[in-house]
Amino acid sequence: MPANLTPQYQKAEEEYRRAESAQEQIQCLEKMLVLLPKHKHTEKMQADLKTRLKETRAELAAEKAAPKKGKSYRFPRQGAGQVVIIGGPNAGKSRLLAALSNAQPEVAPYPYTTREPLPGMMTWEDVAVQLIDTPPISDSLFEPYLPNLVRSADAVLLCFDGSSDDAPDHTATVVEQLTSRKTRLARESGFVDDQFSVVQVKTLLVVTRADDGGVHDRLAFFDEMAVLDCDRQLVEFDRADSTAELCNRVYRLLNVIRLYTRAPGKPADYSSPYTLPVGSTVEDLAAKVHHDLADSLKYAKVWGSGLHDGQSVGREHVLADRDMVELHGA
Ligand SMILES: Nc1nc2c(ncn2[C@@H]2O[C@H](COP(=O)(O)OP(=O)(O)O)[C@@H](O)[C@H]2O)c(=O)[nH]1
Ligand SMILES: [Mg+2]
């Protein structure tokens, strides 16, 4: 980031990346333009934003004039985050969804079993995470709705069949197919050089059937192709311990904290936490609970994170995982 952007601007930019329709994107871009500090060092960004806004308005107008043929899928976000599972044919995508979530996709030892995206909920301790299985990507097969699904995801799991000599090629093809559609799988999510057309999405390479003896050679071969820079997790779904490790890893990808709230004078509610990005403040939590509360918020009492029990804190106070928070409005 070149120009001392405010946290408010960065938040708007993150919302823009996660926007699921042209209409939503336009709203976010307009907000970003308002929030962007206007000085010499942001001139190029202002211009880029305006170009992107113009393009997106044109897209929306075109969509309205001629509704797109072909299917589009929208999965309202649920739980602590939305994680999309992608990969070549037979890479273990559906097996991953079946192993980690409550969904029951068809899992089969032949390719092209999955024809439509399918969501499921994964449980990690007291948090739910939304996983979405998708049809395979190959040289000859690419569902047109996939870039949007991937771009607005909180994270991507890219499956690599550790037991197949085809995996390096197949997986490189997946990366390249998305790159050619301005969607880059990467270590962190965000925009490339503030271009607002190329989106990076945080990705974990999930190496399935990883007990296979040839897995390290295949990964070394894939690394030589240098199409992808991200972390990896080896998994064998036949082993429960290995599956559980992947579940932990997927939750950690989201980089969120859990927060519990209590109404003043009421008992604490430890049943279903709010989840917010690491670094979130009391004010962020108030906004999530109710947008009016963010305005009227005076102070909060917090239990946890090394404070005295029930210590009063201001709206800028940064919360920690598992804090219990009592929000006090005007
Ligand atoms: N033993 C074992 N089999 C796996 C693993 N991952 C996937 N498979 C098998 O590989 C085949 C293809 O998996 P599937 O999830 O349907 O692939 P998809 O086409 O990517 O959805 C199925 O027979 C799975 O049971 C794994 O970690 N261990
Ligand atoms: Mg499948």
Least confident residue range of 58-72, 155-169, 277-291, 299-313: 58-72
Q: Residue 2 pLDDT > 60, yes or no? A: no
Judging by beta carbons within 10 Å of its beta carbon (0-12, 13-18, 19+), is residue 74 exposed, middle or buried? exposed
**Shortest-distance ligand to the CA of residue 170:** 1
Question: Which part of the chain has CATH 3.10.20.30?
Answer: 256-329
Ligand 1 atom 14: the closest Cα is on which residue? Answer: 92
% of the chain at pLDDT higher than 70: 97
The DSSP bridge pattern shows strands 127-133 and 118-124 to be antiparallel
Q: Which tokens go with 173?
A: 């093809």
% of the chain at pLDDT higher than 90: 69
Q: Residue 209 pLDDT > 60, yes or no? A: yes
Rg from Cα positions in the chain: 22
Q: Which class is 256-329 in CATH?
A: alpha beta
Is ligand 1 within 6 A of the CB of residue 90?
A: yes
Is ligand 1 within 6 A of the CB of residue 238?
A: yes
How many angstroms is it from 208 CA to the middle of ligand 1? 7
Question: Which part of the chain has CATH 3.40.50.300?
Answer: 82-253
Which atom of ligand 1 is least distant from the CA of 106? 16
Is ligand 1 within 6 A of the CB of residue 162?
A: no
Query: Coil, strand or helix: which one is 177?
Result: helix
The stretch 12-40 carries a mean pLDDT of 91
pLDDT in tens, 37-64: 998 888 988 999 999 999 999 989 988 8
Is ligand 1 within 6 A of the CB of residue 92?
A: yes
Q: How many other C-beta atoms lie within 10 A of the C-beta of residue 18?
A: 17
Residue 1's pLDDT band, with cuts at 50, 70 and 90, is very low
Mutate to test the pocket of ligand 1, among 85, 86, 90, 106 (most ligand atoms within 8 A of CB): 90
* Third-level CATH fold of 82-253: Rossmann fold (3.40.50)
Task: Give the pLDDT score at 281.
Answer: 94
Ligand 1 atom 16: the closest Cα is on which residue? Answer: 107
Residue 293's pLDDT band, with cuts at 50, 70 and 90, is confident
Ligand 1 atom 11: the closest Cα is on which residue? Answer: 109
Q: What is the pTM of this model?
A: 0.91
Question: Residue with structure tokens 């948090």?
Answer: 127
